Amino acid sequence: LELDKMYKLKTGYLRGVDNPEEIQDGLLVLQVQILAVTGIDFESPENDPEITPQGRQRTRWIIKDFSKIFDKVGPSQKISSQEFDSDGQWFIDVYPRGYRTDENPVEVAKKDGPQAISVYLHSGRMQVELADTMKQSFKFGIKKANKLSKEVYLALGEDPEDDVWFPPGSSCIATFNQFRKCFGKQVFMSVEQLKGGRIDNAAKEILKRAGVKAPSDQDIKEELLAGNYSKGGVITLILDMSVTDEEQGMVQHMLHAIANFGCPYLDKCQETFLSFSLPETFGGAKGPPAPCFLCGRIFSAEMLQSGKFSRFPQFGYEVGREFIMDILMREEEDELYHLMASLDPSKVLAAANNRLQDRVTDIRKSLVQDGKTTDESDKPPDELEGMKRKNAEKELSLQERFTAELKRLRENLEDATFAKPT
């Protein structure tokens, strides 16, 4: 309750006060309604790990025993989810019997029934206390628990791959702040659409004109509802919210490096000091001018090309003509070179080959001592039998794993060492 409104005689929040100077001695009456429902199990909303192709974060809230909830709550009474993060902190309010839908009979009639379900998105407590202002684009939907055939959805103009049905007019664009905390749909959908399905006579007529066989009544009833409605039923409420990615960085182009401020360094390459205004054949700079992504100075694009050791040479402009490794690891230069030498695949494989040859020699000696021939040690695994074949296949498998692990270590070192501007 805002104090500036409470301590005003005209608002009438404080009772028993006639003199404005005695407003703080008034009586404030608070009325609290508590909805107590037993035997209901709620789950926390969960976000999908991937962003939808439309750039939205999808949140799913499973509501079990919806028919029991509908029987136990009254009009304008709600159930609320736990708080969740989706480009902000939110929770969802669901009014199974609608929120003041008797005041909007026209919209309720459009949903084929007097019992409309209301759904609202509410700012979290911390978000309200911090007075965050957020403009959000979102929409509500219902998960298709038992999807119909692709032909049906194509005929109705819906995406056959999407497992969510968004009722008409379910999209919202709203600005949330400390005063406007809640937005949504007073008439989201009707309870009859959950009980009997949302494929009405008009939709069946569209399917008939498209030459698509209409689904059975039982399939229509089970599309949006998991289980039997008379025994409870489970629905999954979907919230699709557009997300905003915040990118923070530093721009190193100073005002004096802009042409409008008379920069003296824009007409020459800062490496060769050749003019960009002259062609290369007449002694000018080679290549067009380009800024270095690190220092912001202007160089010839030919001078800024990244080295051959870069994983992404086509993006270029690392630090002039040098590797970023040479700048960041100048003190550890010797250690780095030793590390690179120790990870050289040719040297490591040569050492491994020597160890394998020594091992084969030992095996041959042991076979000679046992009075056996040594011809089988030179045979490939496919020509061996029994335990000898298993041992040879195991050895080859170890060699392949060793080579793959060596490749992975080398790539990790490159990722951690070389610059990859994207």
236: phi then psi, degrees, rounded to nearest 5: -120, 110
Bridge partners, residue 46, by sequence? 60
pLDDT value of residue 236: 92
145-184 b/e (C-beta count within 10 Å ≥ 16 → b): bebbeeebbebbebeeeeebbebeebebeeebeeeeeebb
Per-residue pLDDT of the chain (422 residues; tens, 9 = 90+): 778 888 888 888 888 888 888 888 889 899 998 877 777 777 889 999 888 888 889 999 999 888 888 888 888 888 899 999 888 899 999 999 888 877 665 555 554 445 789 999 999 988 888 888 888 889 999 999 888 888 888 888 888 888 899 998 888 888 888 888 999 998 888 888 888 888 888 888 888 888 888 888 888 888 888 888 888 888 999 999 987 655 444 444 445 455 555 556 677 887 788 888 888 888 888 877 777 655 566 777 777 655 444 444 444 444 344 445 555 555 455 566 666 666 677 777 777 777 777 777 777 777 666 554 445 555 666 667 777 778 888 888 888 888 888 888 777 776 766 555 54
| Residue 243, SS3 per DSSP | coil
pLDDT, position 329: 52
3-state secondary structure 222-238: CCCCECCHHHCCEEEEE
Nearest-angstrom CA–CA distance, 381 and 394: 10
Neighbouring C-beta atoms of residue 391, cutoff 10 Å: 13
Give pTM, 2 decimals.
Answer: 0.52
**Amino acid code (one letter) for 4:** D
DSSP state of 268: B
Distance CA 358, CA 349 (A): 14
Would you say 74 and 97 are in contact if contact means Cβ atoms under 8 Å apart?
yes
pLDDT recorded at residue 90: 92
Parallel/antiparallel/unpaired status of strands 182-190 and 289-291: unpaired
